[in-house]
């Protein structure tokens, strides 16, 4: 597919240049994401990395991605109006844009993280994607769940990337939460919203959340392999959902 020059935020951003790294000196970029915006941005980032042949996304495809029942915590049921409202506000905050594709009769949408947060590399984008879509995560969960987007060879590599996000120029993008208060291992949350990840109170889960899996090191045994197989199955389901959404 050939992309036209009609790629624009929704609505157009102010004329002022964004602050380096998307720091708090730019009010648009510093504005926190609400729960719907976080889900929409996370889905755009995920599909850009995992199903590039079906990206950018139509509104139908984006709705299917937001509401899918795998790799999402919590599971939600957003309507088109909520998603369109989030896309508009993400455009103002410079995180997303609407584009016209040659041969397509409907608009499509893409994330513009490279505009909002140009200092974030592929490693950081993969980690932020999982945190936006699944909320609070352990290091082991992040390393496993980013595998289709970026391969971290060791837990130390993932830890270093998280530290880079915590030291992001202008403002931290992730927060480390030490073990304690019922948590057996440290966890991480994104700070693009209010610091609580993707589980803000205005998202109502459609069912009981699954129990958090234990944080296990790479190569720990059969449980680790089963977890990876489950992630691959979830990935196949995602791709099928995205394919089906193209014809809905």
Residues 6+ apart with CB under 8 A from 21: 117, 118, 119, 168, 169, 170
Query: Do the beta carbons of residue 96 and residue 120 sit within 8 Å?
Result: no
Residue 126 is inside which H or E element, if any?
helix 122-134
Question: Are 69 and 75 spatial neighbours (Cβ–Cβ below 8 Å)?
Answer: yes
**Single pTM value for the model:** 0.73
Q: Is 175 helix (H, G, I), strand (E, B) or coil?
A: strand
Tens of pLDDT along the chain (248 residues)? 444 445 555 544 433 333 334 444 565 666 899 999 999 999 999 999 999 999 999 999 999 999 999 999 999 999 999 999 999 999 999 999 999 877 778 999 999 999 999 999 999 999 999 999 999 999 999 999 999 999 999 999 999 999 999 999 999 999 999 998 887 899 999 999 964 444 443 444 444 444 444 444 444 445 545 555 666 666 566 556 555 555 55
The pLDDT assigned to 235 comes to: 59
Residue ranges per domain, the chain? 1-248
Six-digit token pair at 123?
């490693």
DSSP track, 43-108: HHHHHHHH-GGG-SB-HHHHHHHHH-SSS-SS-----HHHHHHHHHHHHHTTSEEEEEETT-SS-E
Torsion sign, CA atoms 54, 191, 21, 12: positive
- Phi then psi for 18, rounded to 5 degrees? -70, 150
pLDDT recorded at residue 58: 96
Q: Looking at residue 231, what is its pLDDT? A: 60
Question: Are the CB atoms for 139 and 165 separated by under 8 Å?
Answer: no
C-alpha gyration radius of the chain? 18
Q: Is 125 left (phi over 0), alpha (psi -120 to 50) or beta?
A: alpha
């Amino acid at each position: 597919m050939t992309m036209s020059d009609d790629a624009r935020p929704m609505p157009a951003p102010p004329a002022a240049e964004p602050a380096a790294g998307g720091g708090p000196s730019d009010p648009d970029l510093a504005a926190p994401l609400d729960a719907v915006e976080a889900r929409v941005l996370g889905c755009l980032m995920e599909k850009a990395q995992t199903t590039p042949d079906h990206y950018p996304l139509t509104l139908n495809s984006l709705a299917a991605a937001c509401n899918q029942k795998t790799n999402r915590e919590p599971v939600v049921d957003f309507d088109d109006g909520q998603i369109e409202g989030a896309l508009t506000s993400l455009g103002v905050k410079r995180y997303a844009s609407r584009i016209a594709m040659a041969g397509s009769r409907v608009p499509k949408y893409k994330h513009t993280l490279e505009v909002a947060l140009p200092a974030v590399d592929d490693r950081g984008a993969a980690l932020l994607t999982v945190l936006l879509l699944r909320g609070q995560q352990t290091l082991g969960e992040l390393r496993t769940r980013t595998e289709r987007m970026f391969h971290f060879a060791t837990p130390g590599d993932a830890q270093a990337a998280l530290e880079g996000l915590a030291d992001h120029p202008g403002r931290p993008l992730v927060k480390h939460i030490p073990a304690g208060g019922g948590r057996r291992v440290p966890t991480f949350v994104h700070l693009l919203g209010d610091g609580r990840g993707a589980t803000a109170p205005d998202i109502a889960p459609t069912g009981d959340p699954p129990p958090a899996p234990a944080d296990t090191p790479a190569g720990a045994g059969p449980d680790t392999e089963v977890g990876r197989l489950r992630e691959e199955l979830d990935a196949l389901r995602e791709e099928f959902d995205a394919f089906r959404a193209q014809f809905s």
